Amino acid sequence: MRELLRFHPLYQERVWGGRALETALGRTLPPSPAGGSIGESWEIVDRPEAQSVVQGGALNGQSLRQVLAEHGADVMGPKWSIGKPFPIIVKWLDCRERLSLQVHPPAALAKVLGGAEPKTENWYIAHTAPDAHLIVGLKRGVTRDRFERAIAEGTVEDCVHHFRVAAGDSILVHSGQVHAIDAGNLILEIQENSDTTFRVYDWGRVGLDGQPRTLHVAESLRSIDWNDFEPAALRAAPTSGTIADAPEFSIRRVVLGAGERFHVRAGEQARILSVVSGAVRANLENTPGSRPPFGQKIDRGDNVLLPFAGAFTFTAETTAILLVTENFS
């Protein structure tokens, strides 16, 4: 099994979502009973509650879990343990409004919070409204006692670190970092396979059902890294380079001019390729008749899984920016 794998997106309603995946990425979104609030598109996921399904190719219609069970060595490499879930989730986030202030438990603590999972994630800012911000970490000098008082007083915003962002910026958010995405951001989130989120504060908002959303204040206070002050984003750059390097995964930004190529060799590792600007043509190497420009087109917003056994050439149709996620298998 050497061909790249595309998947059908799984769209999720969120109280803070909108319709930017239509306007920015040219997608056709399903109707939403909540007034159009599609907040997330799960692009690649292998969870009990959500399964990516292959779109096109020889494995069309198979779930990611089925693909790994039947072709695990080809997709992930010969050391892959059959039955292990795919370790990464890729999502688009349309943050029309601000998300809750939240934290994911660090690995050591997750083990004692029944069923909790750690989650390190990377945010790549694909588009922003004017003056858009992120919230990551604490303001310098904030203590747990001060933060707890601020929750009771409704002044938590004074305790957290705000910073402005622009398209092309990114930041790696580790388990234990308190964080929120502010309004007006379209973000590609690449994360550990986890769905544990502790909400510490929700700005007085109600959910899609009109009721206040559940908070997890005690769990959040145990999980927050109280020495995490004012982390910095990685600013947009016109050159290729590493934008995230964590024990769980790493991400490279690859910048291509029109006609330039990016090669992926077989037998190295599984990778995820995300097109965040421009478009490329993908060609399976060593296949007769598969030569640029006749391969599959991968547009802005697309995310594909490149199997361990496959070798590919990606040719930019225009200036393109790719994110290559690796070192997760």
Chain mean pLDDT for the chain: 94
**Rounded Cα gap, residues 101 and 103, in angstroms:** 7
CATH class of segment(s) 10-223: mainly beta
Residue 26 Cα distances to 42, 300, 301, angstroms: 16, 9, 9
Banded model confidence at residue 36, pLDDT cuts 50, 70, 90: low
Per-residue pLDDT at 293: 45
**Rounded Cα gap, residues 328 and 247, in angstroms:** 8
Per-residue pLDDT at 295: 82
Q: Which two tokens stand for residue 83?
A: 């039955």
Banded model confidence at residue 31, pLDDT cuts 50, 70, 90: confident
CATH 2.60.120.10: which residues of the chain? Answer: 10-223, 241-326
Per-residue pLDDT at 286: 62
**Rounded Cα gap, residues 19 and 308, in angstroms:** 35
On the question of pLDDT at 298 being above 90, the answer is yes
More confident residue, 208 or 277: 277
On the question of pLDDT at 290 being above 60, the answer is no
What's the average model confidence in pLDDT over 101-118? 90
CATH topology for the 241-326 domain: Jelly Rolls (2.60.120)
Lowest mean pLDDT among 110-114, 190-194, 280-284: 110-114
Backbone angles phi, psi at 220, to 5 degrees: -65, -45
Q: Which of 6, 96, 199, 271 is catalytic?
A: 199
Total count of residues recorded for the chain? 329
pLDDT tens track for 228-251: 999 999 999 999 999 999 999 999
- The contacts of residue 227 (CB under 8 Å, 6+ apart) are none
Question: Is 149 one of the catalytic residues?
Answer: no
- The contacts of residue 261 (CB under 8 Å, 6+ apart) are 292, 313, 314, 315, 316
On the question of pLDDT at 321 being above 60, the answer is yes
